[in-house]
Amino acid sequence: MPEAGFRPHGSLTLASDEAELSLLKEAADLPDAAERGFELLDPVAAAEVNPALRGEFAGALLCRRDAIVEPRKVPAAFRDYLLSRRAQGGAGYEWQPGREAIEVAPHAVRDHTGSWHRGDLVVLCTGAAHTGIAGPHLAGYERPPVRRVRLQMLQTDPFDGRLTTAVADGDSLRYYPAFELPGRSQLGPQAPVAAASAAQLLMVQRLDGSLTIGDTHSYDEPFDFDVDEVPYDHLRGRAEQLLGRSLPPTRLRWAGVYSQVTGDELYFRSPVAPGVTLVTGPGGRGMTCSPAIAEETFAAWTRPPGSSGQAD
């Protein structure tokens, strides 16, 4: 779907020292490394893959399976596609915004206007709303299966270079399950500002040339209502170190809250009632992984009892 801005450009995770490079080597040697599209690159090879990287780094892990989308366009792109299918006599689709689900029953959900919506399968995608309709179900777990995470990100004016991949720095090795390997314990301390805000550099070029740069992590609620300029300065500085040049001015800054699983799963899926399933908790992966999550959710619904698949 070109309207969503999908580009299978892959990603590069850059090591700044030998400890980070050693951990990347471990990841590249994993049994499923080929399935993940992992390839360890030296600095010269990494710069050939992404010529915009003119700074200093010790090596990189290329992941060919990563992709990029335009987050401001994805929801409307899918909605417009489904509405066009209906206009052409395809499967039924109806967009009813401004409704809050407040009650579930077998194969049905009631919104705050009193209307019931019924179907063979009802999927509740509650995002970071862990109270409300999802609250009683989530409260039934001895250990919370999901938590809320606050982040800060920014977007620059258009950058006159071209990034051919998404880019992450070595601090991302501290946060992702794929890097939960023996070498993680050998990583040196983060820069104090990065440690204080649990920051990692994630950088993607948008279709208009601007750069989206993140992000920080805050786990303790209640979350602050204001944004902190110090982590932004740190993230811009890390991006400039790896690009070997100055960034354009910052156009936008924002903070947000997402739902993240607390275990090893990629997301949380659980039946709430017969024919009603709750799906949440993909963390920062939601925008790019949502089609695969939807596919697995529908596959689990149609799968014969007793067959394998992600546990519900």
Looking at residue 173, its pLDDT comes to: 95
Within a domain: residue 29? yes
For the stretch 171-184, pLDDT in tens is: 999 988 889 999 99
Q: Mean per-residue pLDDT for 90-98?
A: 84
Among 4-8, 120-124, 151-155, 218-222, the least confident range: 4-8
pLDDT level of residue 166 (50, 70, 90 thresholds): very high
Give the pLDDT score at 128: 96
pLDDT of residue 179: 92
Answer whether residue 162 is part of any domain.
yes
- Verify that 10 and 122 share a domain, yes or no: no
pLDDT at res. 309 = 42
Q: Domain check: are 196 and 247 in the same one?
A: yes
The answer on 171 and 213 residing in a single domain is yes
Asked whether residue 12 is domain-assigned, the answer is yes
**Model confidence, pTM:** 0.89
Residue 123 in domain: yes
> Do 253 and 278 fall within a single domain?
no
Q: Please write down the HEC assignment for all residues of the chain.
A: CHHHCCECCCEEEEECCHHHHHHHHHHHCCCCHHHHCEEEECHHHHHHHCCCCCCCCCEEEEECCCCECCCCCHHHHHHHHHHHHHHCCCCCCCCCCCCCEEEEECCEEEECCCCEEECCCEEECCCCCCCHHHHHHHCCCCCCCEEEEEEEEEEECCCCCCCCCEEECHHHHHCCHHHCCHHHHHCCCCCHHHHHHCCCCEEEECCCCCEEEECCCECCCCCCCCCCHHHHHHHHHHHHHHHCCCCCCEEEEEEEEEEEECCCCCCEEEEEECCEEEEECEHHHHHHHHHHHHHHHHHHHHCCCCCCCCCC
User: Mean pLDDT over all residues of the chain?
Assistant: 92
Decide if pLDDT at 311 tops 60.
no
In which domain, by residue range, is 132 found?
Answer: 96-144+264-302
At 47-81, the pLDDT tens digits run 999 999 999 999 999 999 998 989 889 889 989 98
Same domain, 44 and 150: yes
Residue 258: per-residue pLDDT? 96
Residue 93 is predicted with a pLDDT of 86
Same domain for 114 and 67: no
Q: Are residues 284 and 296 in the same domain?
A: yes
Number of domains in the chain: 2
For residues 129 and 211, membership in a common domain is answered with no
pLDDT at 199: 97
pLDDT at position 177, please? 80
Residue 309, domain member (yes or no) = no
Percent of the chain with pLDDT over 70: 96
Q: How confident is the model at residue 305 (pLDDT cuts 50, 70, 90)?
A: low
Q: Do 53 and 180 sit in the same domain of this protein?
A: yes
In-domain check, residue 177: yes
Domain co-membership, 113 together with 53: no
